[in-house]
């Protein structure tokens, strides 16, 4: 399914006032454009089930626009988070090796999350970095899980007395995080093939931390339909399951259709990763 909504407020003659926030994965490519002057999103687009050649066409189309800022969130191999106070750049390969094998020639990328006092590490294939750099040499590359970490921290600060869990679903992976009173308790990623695999890893985390399945609020990202089978199976075991809400700081142009925006909550939280 393709979604493409452009606000009448988008000024194609003043494109340097906008920032581009993109998510690029093996299943789909999505982006949103933020007006830096008004802090308002004015365009959203998602293309699903696309060949790589069509992604390149989209890169070409967007690369001609002189955005003031370009950030691309990648669904690469499993990420690792390290407290800023413990992080040593010279040891970044050692840090990430705790959680994933590093393929020959892959580069370890760093992304600092100031509000969380964390450094997020992930690997990137040279071929992919070359493709992205050829169209967006100024782009900042981050991991797709960055936004769910920031989103969950914000929600945890609101629900101060409650433990909350964030679940981000990407192709064949589930990324889980646990927050309490704004503090990160757990973050890890697991391989999945079926909806039962997703339920297994989520329930294992409940068991590991001795959490009550009737009390913990679980937020899902990476699903845009509340009737998705992956949500329904989790609701069989967990009382409080809902899609990730829109950020309270998010402003949308009035002519963007709200019923389709659930697909873009990860992108709407991305600008907050800079804070």
Read off the pLDDT band of 135 (50, 70, 90): very high
**pLDDT for 217-231, tens place per residue?**
999 988 877 778 999
Domain range 2-74, its CATH number among 3.40.50.1010, 3.30.360.10, 3.30.420.250, 3.30.70.120: 3.30.420.250
- Residue 209 is predicted with a pLDDT of 95
For residues 175 and 151, what is the distance between their CA atoms, to the nearest angstrom? 14
**pLDDT for 76-130, tens place per residue?**
778 999 999 999 999 998 888 877 777 778 889 999 999 999 999 999 888 888 9
Mean pLDDT of the chain: 89
Judged against a pLDDT cut of 70, whether residue 216 lies above it is answered with yes
Spatial CB neighbours of 52, under 8 Å, sequence gap ≥ 6: none
**pLDDT for 159-175, tens place per residue?**
777 899 999 998 889 99
Stretch 257-274: mean pLDDT: 83
For residues 160 and 262, what is the distance between their CA atoms, to the nearest angstrom? 25
Judged against a pLDDT cut of 70, whether residue 1 lies above it is answered with no
Judged against a pLDDT cut of 90, whether residue 3 lies above it is answered with no
- Residue 196 is predicted with a pLDDT of 96
CB atoms within 10 A of CB 198: 23
CATH architecture of 147-243: 2-Layer Sandwich (3.30)
**pLDDT for 55-71, tens place per residue?**
888 889 899 989 999 99
What are the sequence ranges of the domains in the chain? 2-74, 77-124, 147-243
| Strand pairing category for 140-143 and 118-124 | unpaired
Read off the pLDDT band of 49 (50, 70, 90): low
Q: Do domains 2-74 and 147-243 have the same CATH topology?
A: yes
Judged against a pLDDT cut of 80, whether residue 259 lies above it is answered with no
Q: DSSP letter string over the chain?
A: -EEEEE-TT--TT-GGGEEEEEEE-SSEEEEEEEETTTTEEEEEEEEES--HHHHHHHHHHHHTS--SEEEEEE--SPPEEEETTT--GGGHHHHHHTTSPPPTTPEEEEEEEGGGTEEEEEEE-HHHHHHHHHH-TTPEEEETTHHHHHHHHHHHHHSTTSEEEEEEEETTEEEEEEEETTEEEEEEEEE-SSHHHHHHHHHHHHHHTT--TTT-EEEEES---TT-HHHHHHHTT-SEEEEPPPPTT--B-TTS-GGGGGGGHHHHHGGGGG-
Asked if 40 contacts 252 with a C-beta cutoff of 8 angstroms, the reply is: yes
For residues 193 and 197, what is the distance between their CA atoms, to the nearest angstrom? 6
Read off the pLDDT band of 139 (50, 70, 90): very high
């Amino acid at each position: 399914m393709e979604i493409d909504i452009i606000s009448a407020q988008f000024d194609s003659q003043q494109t340097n006032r906008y920032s581009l926030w993109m998510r690029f994965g093996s299943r789909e490519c999505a982006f949103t454009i933020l007006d830096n002057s008004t802090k308002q999103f004015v365009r959203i687009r998602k293309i699903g089930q696309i060949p790589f050649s069509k992604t390149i066409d989209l890169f070409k189309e967007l690369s001609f626009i002189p955005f003031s800022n370009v950030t691309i969130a990648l669904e690469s191999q499993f990420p690792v988070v390290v407290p800023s106070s413990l992080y040593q750049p010279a040891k970044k390969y050692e840090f990430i090796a705790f959680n994933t094998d590093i393929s020959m020639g892959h580069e370890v990328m760093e992304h600092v999350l100031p509000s969380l006092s964390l450094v997020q590490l992930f690997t990137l294939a040279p071929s992919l970095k070359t493709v992205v750099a050829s169209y967006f040499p100024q782009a900042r590359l981050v991991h797709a899980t960055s936004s769910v970490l920031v989103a969950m921290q914000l929600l945890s600060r609101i629900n101060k007395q409650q433990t909350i869990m964030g679940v981000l679903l990407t192709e064949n992976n589930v990324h889980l995080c646990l927050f309490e009173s704004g503090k990160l308790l757990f973050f890890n990623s697991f391989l999945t093939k079926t909806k039962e695999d997703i339920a297994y890893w989520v329930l294992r985390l409940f068991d590991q931390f001795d959490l009550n399945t009737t009390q913990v609020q679980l937020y899902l990202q990476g699903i845009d339909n509340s009737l998705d089978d992956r949500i329904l199976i989790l609701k069989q075991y967990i009382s409080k399951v809902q899609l990730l809400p829109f950020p309270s700081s998010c402003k949308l142009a009035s002519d963007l259709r709200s019923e389709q925006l659930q697909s873009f909550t990860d992108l709407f939280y991305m600008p907050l990763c800079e804070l």
